[in-house]
C-alpha cells in the first residue's frame, strides 16, 4: 500500500490559500503575480503543477467571478509543463512529433474549423477562444503520455481530489440549504432560474451538469484510492464518496446520469467487477438517503419561511411555478416540453443546425458560429441571417460539429473518436483500467448528444489524463525514454 507524507501534499492547502488570496484581493497585479507564481512552481515541480489543474479548473468559474485576472493559470501551467517535456526530449526530438491517427484527425478537424471560420468572417478573438477550448487539455494528454507517472503521483492526485470534493460538496449543500444566498458571487445569487433548475445544485463549478460530471469522475478516483491505500483511510474515503453521490443526485443532471449509468454498466459487464457495482450501489443509496433526501426536506422548510419566500421571488424571474424532482423527470417527455424544445430547445437546435448545414455542407461555417463556447461572449456573424438569439448554446456536440466543420470536419472528428476507441481497446482490454477508459469514451458518445463534452474543461481534463496514462508506458518504451521524471 502506498504511503504519502504530509510534505508530499503541502502544496494542496497552499494552493487553496493562494486561490483565496486571489479572490479576496481583486487587483490586476495580484492576478498576474499568482498566475506567474504557478508558472514558476510548475517549472520546478511539473507534475505537482499538473495536479493543481485538478483544483483550479473545477473552481475556475467561481474564482473568475471575483478576479477575472486568474483566468490564465491553466494556460501557463500547461505551457511550462510542455516546455519541460520538449527540453527533456531534446535528445530524442523526433518522438515529440510522433502522433496517433486520432491526434492527426483531431488536428485536421481543428484546422477545418479555423479555415472555415476565417472564410465566414469570424473575429480572430473568437477563433482563438474556440481553438483554445479544443486544444488546451489535449496538451494534458500530450504531456502525460511522455512523462514518468508513478503510483505515488496517482495517489497524490487522488487525495488532492478528495480534499477538493469535500470542499465542493459542503459548499454545494450550503448553496442548496441557503437557497443560493450564501457563499456565492452576487451575480450567481441573483441568477433567475426556471422552476426545474431552482432545485439543482450548481456548486463552485457554476453548472449542475459540470458538477455531476465532476462527481462521476470522483467516484472513479476514490475507487482507485481504496485499492491503493491503507484500510484505516477507508472511513474518510467512504464519507467523501457518500457526500459526492449525494451532491451528484442533487444536480438532477439527467444527461450525465444517463451517460454515467451506461459507462458503469458497460464496465461491469466487461470486467465482471462486482466490487465496483457494490460500492456504486451502496454509495449512491447512502448518498440519497443520508444527504439528498434530508437536505431536500430541510430546504423545503426553509422555502416556507419569510426568508425563503423572498429568495424564491428573486429566482422566479423566468418561471413563476415551483419545481421538484418529479416535475423535472416528468418534463423530460411531456408534450409541453417537446413543443418548447421544438421552439427553442434541443429539437430547435437540431432543426436550425441542419438548416445552416444545407447552406454550408463542405467545411461548414467555422468555429465561433453556432452555439459553441466562444459565441456566448463574442457572438456569431451568422445569427442574424438565421434568426438565432445571442444567448444560443448548442448543447449538442454533434450538431455543432456538423454545422461548424461540414462533411470534411465531421469525417475527421469521427476518425478521432473511432480510432481512440480502437486504441483504448487495443491497449487496455487486458486490464480493468484500460476497459474503464474504453467505457468512458463510449459514455462520452452518449453525453455528446446533450452536452458539448469536448469543450468541457471537466470532461477533457479527466479523460485526456486517463488516456495519457493508459498509453504512457508503451509510448516511452517505444521511444526508449525511461528516465524522464
CA angle 419, 54, 294 (to 5 degrees): 105
Q: Is 81 exposed, middle or buried (0-12, 13-18, 19+ CB in 10 A)?
A: buried
Q: Which residue has the higher pLDDT, 230 or 412?
A: 412
pLDDT digits (tens, 9 = 90+) for 219-239: 999 999 999 888 889 999 999
Per-residue pLDDT at 256: 94
Query: Among 305, 314, 303, which residue's Cα sits nearest to residue 189?
Result: 314
In the block, cell 438548416 appears at 355
- CA 418/CA 473 separation, integer angstroms: 22
Tell me how far apart the alpha carbons of residues 125 and 433 are, in angstroms, rounded to a whole number.
39
Residue 430 domain-assigned (yes or no): no
Q: Is residue 212 part of a domain?
A: no
Q: How confident is the model at residue 348, as a pLDDT?
A: 87
Alpha-carbon span 62 to 50, nearest angstrom: 20
In a domain, 442, yes or no: no
Helices assigned H by DSSP within 272-317: 274-286, 293-303, 306-315
Has residue 343 got a pLDDT over 60? no
Q: Is the pLDDT of residue 112 over 60?
A: yes
Within a domain: 145? no
Residue 316 pLDDT > 70, yes or no? no
Q: Residue 485 domain-assigned?
A: no
- Nearest CA-CA partner of 322 in 295, 334, 304: 304
Query: How far is Cα of residue 193 from the mean position of the Cα atoms in its chain?
Result: 22
Residue 209 counted as domain residue:
no
In this structure, are residues 26 and 66 in contact, taking their beta carbons and an 8 Å threshold?
yes
Q: What are the residues whose beta carbons fall under 8 Å from the beta carbon of 380, sequence distance 6 or more?
A: 122, 126, 368, 369, 370, 388
pLDDT at 175: 96
Q: Mind listing the pLDDT tens digit for each residue in 175-224?
A: 999 999 999 999 998 888 887 888 999 999 999 999 999 999 999 999 99
Band of pLDDT at residue 308, cut at 50, 70 and 90 = confident
CA distances to 11, 59, 159, 224, 315 from 237, rounded to whole Å, are: 20, 21, 9, 11, 35
Question: Would you tell me how many other CB atoms lie within 10 Å of the CB of residue 236?
Answer: 15
Give me the number of domains the chain comprises: 1
Region of poorest pLDDT, from 80-89, 174-183, 301-310, 408-417: 301-310
| Structural domain boundaries, residue 27 | 1-98
Regarding predicted confidence, which is higher, 220 or 4? Answer: 220
CB 86 within 8 A of CB 96: yes
Of 414, 442, 448, whose CA–CA distance to 428 is shortest? 442
What was the pLDDT predicted at 338?
40
Mean pLDDT of 361-384: 92
Mean pLDDT calculated for residue range 239-246: 98
- Res. 483: pLDDT tops 70: no
Q: Does residue 315 carry a pLDDT above 70?
A: no
Taking residues 432-452, what's their average pLDDT? 94
Residue 138 in domain: no
Average pLDDT of the residues in 343-361: 86
Q: CA 461, CA 110: separation in Å to the nearest integer?
A: 18
Residues ≥6 apart with Cβ < 8 Å to 168: 58, 203, 204, 205, 211, 214, 247
Q: How many CB atoms lie within 10 A of CB 356?
A: 21
Q: Residue 475 — very low, low, confident or very high, per pLDDT cuts 50/70/90?
A: low
- pLDDT at residue 16 greater than cutoff 90: yes
* C-beta separation of 245 from 309 below 8 A: no
pLDDT over 60 at 441, yes or no: yes
| Predicted model pTM | 0.92
The yes-or-no verdict on residue 264 having pLDDT over 60 is yes
Cβ-in-10-Å burial (0-12, 13-18, 19+) of 28 comes to: exposed
- Cell numbers describing residue 203: 456548486
Residue 15 pLDDT exceeds 70: yes
Cell numbers of 299, please?
A: 430546504
Assess if residue 330 is contained within a domain: no
Amino acid at each position: 500500500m502506498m504511503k504519502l507524507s504530509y510534505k508530499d501534499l503541502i502544496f494542496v492547502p497552499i494552493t487553496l490559500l493562494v486561490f483565496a488570496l486571489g479572490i479576496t484581493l481583486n487587483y490586476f497585479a495580484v492576478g498576474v503575480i499568482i498566475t506567474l507564481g504557478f508558472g514558476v512552481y510548475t517549472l520546478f515541480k511539473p507534475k505537482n503543477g499538473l495536479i493543481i489543474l485538478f483544483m483550479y479548473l473545477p473552481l475556475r468559474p467561481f474564482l473568475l467571478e471575483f478576479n477575472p485576472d486568474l483566468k490564465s493559470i491553466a494556460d501557463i501551467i500547461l505551457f511550462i509543463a510542455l516546455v519541460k517535456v520538449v527540453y527533456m526530449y531534446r535528445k530524442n526530438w523526433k518522438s515529440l512529433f510522433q502522433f496517433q491517427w486520432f491526434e492527426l484527425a483531431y488536428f485536421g478537424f481543428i484546422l477545418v474549423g479555423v479555415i472555415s471560420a476565417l472564410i465566414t468572417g469570424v473575429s480572430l478573438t473568437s477563433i482563438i477562444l474556440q481553438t483554445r477550448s479544443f486544444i488546451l487539455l489535449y496538451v494534458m494528454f500530450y504531456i502525460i503520455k511522455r512523462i514518468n507517472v508513478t503510483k505515488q503521483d496517482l495517489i497524490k492526485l487522488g487525495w488532492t481530489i478528495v480534499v477538493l470534493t469535500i470542499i465542493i460538496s459542503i459548499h454545494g449543500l450550503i448553496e442548496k440549504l441557503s437557497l443560493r444566498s450564501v457563499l456565492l458571487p452576487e451575480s450567481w445569487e441573483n441568477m433567475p432560474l426556471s422552476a426545474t433548475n431552482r432545485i439543482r445544485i450548481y456548486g463552485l463549478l457554476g453548472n449542475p451538469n459540470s458538477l455531476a460530471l465532476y462527481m462521476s469522475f470522483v467516484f472513479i478516483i476514490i475507487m482507485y484510492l481504496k485499492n491503493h491505500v491503507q484500510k484505516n483511510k477507508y472511513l474518510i474515503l467512504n464519507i467523501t464518496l457518500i457526500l459526492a453521490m449525494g451532491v451528484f443526485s442533487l444536480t438532477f443532471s439527467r444527461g450525465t446520469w444517463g451517460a454515467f449509468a451506461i459507462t458503469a454498466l458497460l464496465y461491469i459487464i466487461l470486467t465482471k467487477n462486482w466490487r465496483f457495482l457494490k460500492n456504486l450501489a451502496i454509495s449512491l443509496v447512502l448518498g440519497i438517503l443520508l444527504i439528498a433526501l434530508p437536505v431536500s426536506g430541510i430546504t423545503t422548510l426553509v422555502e416556507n419561511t419569510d426568508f425563503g419566500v423572498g429568495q424564491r421571488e428573486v429566482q422566479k424571474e423566468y418561471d413563476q411555478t415551483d419545481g421538484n424532482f418529479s416535475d423535472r423527470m416528468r418534463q423530460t417527455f411531456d408534450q409541453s416540453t417537446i413543443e418548447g424544445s421544438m421552439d427553442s430547445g434541443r429539437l430547435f437546435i437540431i432543426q436550425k443546425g441542419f438548416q445552416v448545414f444545407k447552406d454550408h455542407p463542405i467545411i461548414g461555417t467555422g468555429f465561433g458560429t453556432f452555439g459553441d463556447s466562444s459565441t456566448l461572449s463574442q457572438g456569431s456573424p451568422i445569427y442574424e441571417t438565421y434568426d438565432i438569439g445571442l444567448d444560443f448554446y448548442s448543447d449538442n456536440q454533434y450538431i455543432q460539429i456538423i454545422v461548424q466543420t461540414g462533411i470534411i470536419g465531421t469525417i475527421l472528428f469521427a476518425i478521432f473518436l473511432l480510432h481512440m476507441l480502437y486504441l483504448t481497446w487495443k491497449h487496455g482490454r487486458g486490464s480493468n483500467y484500460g476497459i474503464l477508459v474504453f467505457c468512458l469514451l463510449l459514455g462520452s458518445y452518449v453525453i455528446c448528444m446533450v452536452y458539448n463534452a469536448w469543450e468541457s474543461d471537466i470532461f477533457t481534463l479527466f479523460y485526456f489524463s486517463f488516456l495519457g496514462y493508459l498509453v504512457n508506458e508503451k509510448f516511452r518504451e517505444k521511444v526508449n525514454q525511461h528516465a524522464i521524471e
